[in-house]
Structure formats: C-alpha cells, structure tokens
C-alpha cells in the first residue's frame, strides 16, 4: 500500500488521464445467413432476402479485400447530393456487408511527467502519450456472375468473438 | 442505497463532465418513398424522382444497380478525474435498387438500422 500511494499521488498530479474509446460501426452480417448462400445456385434476390442490402460495392473499398479480410478500410459514404461513385463492372456484381468493432486506449502522462523525466536526466524521446488501438471486422462478400447467379461467397470474422483488450504497455 | 449514494458522490466529484454526440452521415431514404418502389413496375426515372441520386452506381451489362446509404451514430463520453470513457455506436440504413437494361426495377432491398443506434455506456 505504501508503495502504491506515491505512485497514485504522482499519477494524480501529473497524469492528464487515460482514455478508452469503443467503436461499433455497422451492423455485422450474420455468418449463419451468409453460409446459406450457395455458389452457382443463389440469385441476387435470394442474396438480398438473406442479407438485406449491402453496405457497399466491393470496388468502392480502399485496398484489396483479401480472403483474410484484414487489409481494408471502411469507406464513409458521400454526403447527399454529392456525385455518386459510378463503377463500370460489366461482367460481375460484387456486394459487400461489413461490421466492425474497434477499441482504442491511451494514457496521457501530461507535460508535467515529461518535463520531470527530462529534468531527471532522461535522454531521447520521452513519450507524452502511450496508446494502442485494435479493430476487428466481419464481412461477407458476394460476387455475382453476368447471369445473375452467385459466383463466389466469402465470409470472414465474427465481431461477437471480439475479445481482445488493447494494452498500451504491451 | 448507501452504495448508490456513494457511487453518485464519487461520480459528481470525480467526473468533470460527460458528453453526447449525434452524427448523421448522408441523406436518409424516406421509408414511405422506398415502399413505392416495386419490382417489375417502377422505372429508373421514377426512382430518380423519388429519392434523387444514389451514393453509388454499379454499371452492369444487364443494367444498373443503385446503392443509397445513410449512417447514424450516437456517442456517449464520460470524463472522469483520471479516466475518460467513450462509446460510439454507428448504425446504417441501406437501399439497393437494381434495374434491367430497359430501366425497370428488378430488385429492391431496404434495411433501416439507424434507429437502433444508441447512447451506451457499456462497450
């Protein structure tokens, strides 16, 4: 207890604070529903009946949407009245459903700690803020061929299994 | 009761404040207008007149596909003495309208999740 008290005192005097933010973006598509879609059999209407309208056309997303579903960024829609994205995809239609969960945490040590650390002889970079962030996405990607029948289905990630805990000290 | 009073006291003294935010991104497709779009009956011109330009268009050999998007987010932030805590909940409305090469609606799909966005304290 004695050891903790000075630490708490220093923290209270100098630390600007610890910030934890949680983001829930989009409605995660149901993995079970997506698995009901059959390649070479299901039609666009059947896909829409199962998953509802998509969040985007695949081509709109930045980066390549690989099978892992890791390398992508969520593209915010444009404001109303803005010029729509027009995608020339004569041979196939690729639809995407995305839901993400993310969390960020950071500890701001405040200028006081930084100055004190430098005054005590610290050299080089003295961090003012430690932070960490993580994101998990679940997506369903359905590609339809020119005949309007599903060509391929990709399902990845389950936000419900979102169990990580970003720790700025690790 | 004692515990609640203690909790409230700590909250009052330790919490400099809290904040609520609401974000609306895009124009929400009017559900009433959306219900007027019928596959096999409504034309592209009618959809344009009802809802205006879509957010994205996919041009297929067999016809175009319109995608309308609207997102609504609610954020709640709590600023305590040393800890700040916040949650953002962003929920979408989406509308897809597909046309054949003659400009007649072939498929319509609409979902409205934006009313489900909520100010939440728990992650």
Do B84 and A19 make contact, defined as CB atoms within 8 angstroms?
A: yes
Question: Counting one residue from A and one from B, how many pairs have CB atoms under 8 Å apart?
Answer: 134
The DSSP call for residue A42 is -
Give the span between the Cα atoms of A54 and A45, in whole angstroms: 12
Name the residue among B60, B70, B76 with its Cα closest to residue A77.
B70
User: Could you say which of B54, B88, B98 has the minimum Cβ distance to residue A23?
Assistant: B88
Do A80 and B52 make contact, defined as CB atoms within 8 angstroms?
A: yes
Across B16-38, average pLDDT: 91
Q: Which residue of B has its CA nearest to A20?
A: B85
A160, pLDDT greater than 90: no
Cβ-contact A119, A132 below 8 angstroms: no
pLDDT number for residue A163: 40
Tell me the pLDDT tens digit for each residue of A6-41: 766 666 555 667 888 888 888 777 777 777 888 788
The DSSP call for residue A136 is E
CB atoms within 10 A of CB A26: 22
């Amino acid at each position: 207890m004695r050891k903790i008290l000075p630490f708490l005192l220093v923290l209270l005097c100098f630390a600007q604070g610890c910030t934890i933010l949680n983001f829930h973006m989009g409605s995660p598509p149901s993995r079970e529903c997506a698995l009901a879609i059959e390649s070479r059999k299901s039609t666009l209407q059947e896909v829409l009946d199962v998953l509802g309208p998509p969040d985007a056309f695949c081509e709109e997303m930045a980066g390549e949407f690989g099978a892992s579903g890791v390398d992508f960024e969520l593209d915010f829609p444009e404001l109303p009245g803005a010029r729509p994205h027009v995608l020339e995809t004569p041979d196939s239609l690729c639809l995407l459903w995305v839901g993400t969960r993310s969390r960020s945490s950071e500890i701001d040590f405040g200028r006081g700690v930084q100055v004190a650390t430098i005054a005590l002889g610290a050299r080089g970079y003295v961090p003012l803020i430690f932070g960490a962030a993580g994101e998990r996405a679940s997506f369903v990607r359905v590609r339809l061929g020119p005949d309007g029948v599903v060509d391929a289905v990709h399902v990845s990630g389950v936000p419900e299994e979102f169990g990580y805990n970003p720790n700025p000290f690790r | 009761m004692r515990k609640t009073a203690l909790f409230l006291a700590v909250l009052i003294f330790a919490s400099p404040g809290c904040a609520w935010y609401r974000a609306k991104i895009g124009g929400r497709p009017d559900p009433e207008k959306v219900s007027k779009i019928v596959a096999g009956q409504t034309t592209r011109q009618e959809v344009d007149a009802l809802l205006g330009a879509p957010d994205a268009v996919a041009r297929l050999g067999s016809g175009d596909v319109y995608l309308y998007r609207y997102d609504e987010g609610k954020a709640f932030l709590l600023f305590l003495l040393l800890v700040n805590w916040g949650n953002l909940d962003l929920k979408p409305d989406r509308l897809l309208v597909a046309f054949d090469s003659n400009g007649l609606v072939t498929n319509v799909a609409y979902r409205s999740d934006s009313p489900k966005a909520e100010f939440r304290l728990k992650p």
